Structure 1
Amino acid sequence: MIRKIFKMKVYPGMEKEYKRRHQALWPEMKQMIHVYGGRNYTIALDTETDILYAQIEIEDEKKWSASADDPINRKWWDYMADLMETNPDNSPVCVELEEVFHLD
């Protein structure tokens, strides 16, 4: 398993809606994440900065990267674009973070 850690940013005042949409995550989105080898996905919000910190375990970088072209993923990005910083294709602006410590 490869652990990916990254940060994103939710727009001020959109935190509750971001949380609500993730609590009602579409079943097909959950399945899509698993199909591309994603497991143990966690997103946390720093309410002082509106920064989202995320961690996901993936099986393979190439397999996970292919999820960006999945229509369900694209639909989710479009759905979330009004709540957070995004790239021109509506994918979230993600900054990879360096893991400096992990303990199982």
Structure 2
Amino acid sequence: MSIHAFRMQLKPGVIDEYRARHDAIWPELSALLTESGIYDYSIFLDEATLSLFAVLRLTEDNARDTLPDHPVMKRWWDHMAPLMEVEADNRPREWPLPLIFHHA
């Protein structure tokens, strides 16, 4: 098991829509994340900066690297692109967050 954390960036005025889209996450996307070895996935919001902080746990045999090629993932990115900063392929821009402290 490993932990992956990163930051993403919302555009102004879209917090409610971002939350609504995640509250109604597609079952096929949820299944894809689980099948890819992603679990215990949380996204936190800093309302002052509109920064999103994501933390997810990965199984040892995860297939997270295959997600960018999956049609469901691409469709989700297209769905979310108007709400956040994205790369040319609509993948959310991610800034890695290195772990500097953990208390178990």
Residues 24-82 of structure 1: CA distance to partner in whole angstroms, max 9, x if unpaired? 10100100001110000000000000000000011248721111111100000000000
CA–CA distance in structure 2, aligned partners of residues 73 and 62 of structure 1: 16
Deviating beyond 4 angstroms after TM superposition, the runs of 4 or more aligned structure 1 residues are none
1:31 match: 31
CA–CA distance in structure 2, aligned partners of residues 8 and 16 of structure 1: 16
Once the two structures are overlaid, the 10-residue window that deviates more, 40-49 or 62-71, is 62-71
For residue 39 of structure 1, give the secondary structure of its aligned residue in structure 2.
Answer: strand
CA–CA distance in structure 2, aligned partners of residues 96 and 38 of structure 1: 17
The unaligned stretches of length 5 or more in structure 1 are: none
The unaligned stretches of length 5 or more in structure 2 are: none
| 8 Å contact from structure 2 (residues 7, 97) kept in 1 | yes
Following superposition of structure 1 onto structure 2, how do residues 58-77 of structure 1 map, counting pairs within 5 Å? Answer: 58-60=58-60, 63-77=63-77
For residue 81 of structure 1, give the secondary structure of its aligned residue in structure 2.
Answer: helix
Matched-pair identity in %: 36
RMSD, aligned α-carbons: 1.2
TM-score of the two chains, using structure 2 as the length reference: 0.95
Task: Say yes or no: does 1:53 pair with 2:53.
Answer: yes
TM-score of the two chains, using structure 1 as the length reference: 0.95
